[in-house]
Amino acid sequence: MTRTRTIQAGLALAFGTMLAGAASAAEVNIYTTREPGLIQPLLDAFKASSGITVNTVFLKDGLAERVATEGENSPADILMTVDAGNLIDLTEKGLTQPVSSKVLEDAIPAQLRDAKGEWFALSMRARVVYAAKDLDVSALNYEDLSDPKWKGKICIRAGQHPYNTALIADYIAHYGAEKAEEWLKGVKDNLARKAAGGDRDGAKDIAGGICDIAVANSYYVGLMRSGKGGEEQVKWGESIKVILPTFKEGGTQVNISGASLAKHAKNKDAAVKLLEYLVSDEAQKIYAEANFEYPVKPGAPLDPIVKSFGELTIDKTPLTEIVSHRKQASELVDKVGFDN
């Protein structure tokens, strides 16, 4: 081999080694308000299939503030959070950038993603009704919750909690603020106790005979019945049945976990690959099994506990419209003294 060829071969080898090192060093940085343990099975599966390492920074509060402060120097590639309002806030504060992906668009129903590709839902939880197992009721509309026949029989957490302001905001989207106020007053009149505690407390209080029905999120039933919340919670979960209420002219209200591509993402290609992986059949199955959530991808398998609730018909009100009524919903909670 001539000296020139030796040099060329050496350069080629060095260049190839450099590329291999870059490939093995590929990574994605996530800022998330979700407990890392809840999403770790997904991230491990993604690394196994792609070779891309995922680093997570858990932020219980202040995600938007931190990203805004870091500005162009932010290492965040993906911003992941729970609740549609929190996700859309990131976009409204200019902290995200659009993603154009047929994979994401084909997998996620239109009302569960931003029309410009700034955010995407990845999993869902439905706002359902827990009912005492022996209660003679198998179907309900959200409108029914204000019916005087339920006086002194309903448990619910604080009206100002995001889970409930989202439901109230959806009611406003359907019927307007005036009718939503009437409905909220009716629901308050039907409370068995002060609006407080968590969703699982609704099941606990049904088991204890304090109320007959409770408004709560679907995935808590899986956590209770599976034993992940402890032996006592298994009894709470087994004491109730789940009803998927709907609006009379709509479906069941859902909230989401979701993600956006950060405005200053340094690893954009790898980040988009991760987003696309999270709506794959494999990832959607992991979401369903690990967290008892509803997959966003139509036809993806459900956990057997969640499947036992019956068929979910998602309300078609776009999440952006629901979120636009959040402030109004919060004001109505205070106006009717719902949490007093």
CATH assignment of the domain containing 35: 3.40.190.10
The number of C-alpha atoms within 13 Å of 153 and in the hemisphere containing its C-beta is 15
Hey, which residues does 53 pair with through a beta bridge?
Answer: 27
Does 327 reside within a domain?
yes
Closest to 170 in 3D by CA, of 130, 97, 111: 111
Same domain, yes or no: 237 and 136: yes
- Count how many domains the chain has: 2
105: left (phi over 0), alpha (psi -120 to 50) or beta: alpha
Q: Which pLDDT score is estimated for 2?
A: 45
* Averaged pLDDT, 122-127: 96
pLDDT at 145 over 60: yes
The least confident of 19-23, 158-162, 208-212 is 19-23
Same domain, yes or no: 262 and 132: no
To the question of whether residue 219 is assigned a binding role by annotation, the answer is yes
Average pLDDT value over all residues in the chain: 92
pLDDT at 1 over 60: no
pLDDT at 35 over 90: no
Domain that holds residue 164: 126-253+313-335
Does 340 reside within a domain?
no
Distance from C-alpha of 135 to C-alpha of 138, rounded to nearest angstrom: 8
Residue 25 confidence class, pLDDT cut points 50, 70, 90: low
Whether 95 and 64 have beta carbons less than 8 Å apart is answered as yes
